Amino acid sequence: MLAMDGVHVSYGNTPILRDIDIDIDDGETVGIMGRNGVGKTTLMKTVIGLLTPDEGTIRYAGEDVTDLSADRRARLGMGYIPQGRDVFPDLTVEQNISMGLSISEHKSEKLVDDVYDYFPRLAERRGQKAGTMSGGEQQMLAIGRALAGNPDLLLLDEPSEGIQPSIVQQITDDIANINEEFGVTVLFVEQNLQVIRELSERCYVVDGGRIETELDAEDLEDVDAVADYLAV
């Protein structure tokens, strides 16, 4: 479904990502982990098309999308939930979800109904301004907004960041269910060990802008080894 091949990315003259190779199959849930500042967000922004590689190719659903804008990639089925969520704080829940719907080719109100069925808490708060909601509710809204675009691939950048521990489990379960029930492929960045272990079928470890290693399900069972990859 998604393949990055030999991707290099810079900010100005500063190289950040080097020789990134990633392959994600349809239906997988794959994590990206690594310490602060190693390039995880840069990688996600490159997948969605907010950053353009200096070298290398990105293929999505069989198509070379390397030169396509983020908007075009969203229309092809990539849903992006950025770090910090970026909901529109002065817009209501309903207006935020409409922004997601506008990306979908079908613009079906059924998609909106599905989002409300899935997140009843959002349905209860349709008229509430997003900026007045808790971090966990804003994360649900950001996920709901992306789902309204009818994605085949969800890209989540640190979904548990800044969320009360009691709500982190719920968000983790929601993401797992979206993968299982809707068949949406999931690529996520995380630093929360528990979330990584619960969600990932496998995980890429990024260090110094490179893929340092890949951990499979068995590797992920070794809590201490996984924690070492996250150690500052």
Please report, as ranges, the residues that interact with ligand ATP according to CB under 6 A. Answer: 11, 16, 34, 36-42, 83
| DSSP run (H or E) holding 19 | strand 14-24
CB of 161 to ligand ATP, least distance (A): 8
Distance CA 231, CA 216 (A): 19
Residue type at 172 in one-letter notation: T
CB of 134 to ligand ATP, least distance (A): 21
Nearer to ligand ATP, 148 or 189 (CB): 189
Closest separation in Å from C-beta 43 to ligand ATP? 7
Which residue's CB is nearer to ligand ATP, number 27 or number 84?
Answer: 84
Measured between alpha carbons, how far is 37 from 206 in angstroms, rounded to an integer? 10
Distance in Å, CB of 38 to ligand ATP, minimum: 4
Whichever of 16 and 205 has its CB closer to ligand ATP, that residue is 16
Given the complex with ligand ATP, which of 16 and 155 has the nearer CB atom?
A: 16
What burial class does residue 87 get, using C-beta atoms within 10 Å of its C-beta: 0-12 exposed, 13-18 middle, 19+ buried?
buried
Residue with tokens 């960041």: 161
**Cα angle 191, 197, 200; round to 5:** 90
